[in-house]
Structure 1
């Protein structure tokens, strides 16, 4: 798979950074939607596997995540993020007309991807949800009831059986390692 390229698009709340892993003869396009606190660049390994199976891969950094504009990890309204994903999907379709489009969402990205499918499902060939935050999730309500949200970051050891994955996560300056932000918790409610 070729080296990653970057795009900067106009998002709903400012500049939207998008990673692209090109493929010389793609059979389909995959659009990866990351989880809370991380960024699209963390999916280079997934992009490599998908690329080995014929995909050109795109992954935006959501508002407030990675290199995109916005206050760190603040998502005031998930509908804005869904609109940003649609902007990236437009880029993908313009660059690769007629290719099947597969949307892959992990955790918070699963929530965003599920909502995208509700709004724009006719544009997708497939939807893949990995540990999506959908349904009744108690954590936001419990944290919002507190005066101060505790600083309990994700344990790198909990991410993977591969210690190198956890070490890369812990060392990544574009990953948020602080507490969840109140506006984002409110958006989950």
Structure 2
């Protein structure tokens, strides 16, 4: 590959380097690299468009696919139309037409950690928002609270509620310091699930 095969692009202040062949699916970019735009005076082509979104344009041109948060889809479609990439524009239309079903749920710390396949440091929680990819969910918030815990007088593990103990456990002789209920600190996580698979 020679230097002539490379295209140096400055999109809204963000620099990209790729090959001419990668850009061929775009009508607009093909016109630029073929030298039909006489306004360019250097080897770097400046395009006054969104530099962040161009990353996904280039990703699509390289791989035929892309991954982006749903809130950026409309803006990305505008960029696809500008660059003359109808296949990408049509793909975005199909994604936007897909109904998004959202479910919110409170998870215990154990459930949350098993879902993400690793333990998360509470001080790092904000940096994890929207970045957990093991399953399609987004962390919204975490809260600390007190949970009432029942203690079976016979110490039967599965008896976690007084009504499950039954007649025999409730009649079981206990010491004077026995407390049927105590409270413990727990952390709960509010998460947002997308059944469509997009976060």
Relative to the length of structure 2, the TM-score reads: 0.28
Q: Which of the two has greater strand per residue?
A: 2
Relative to the length of structure 1, the TM-score reads: 0.29
The structure with the largest alpha-carbon Rg is: 2
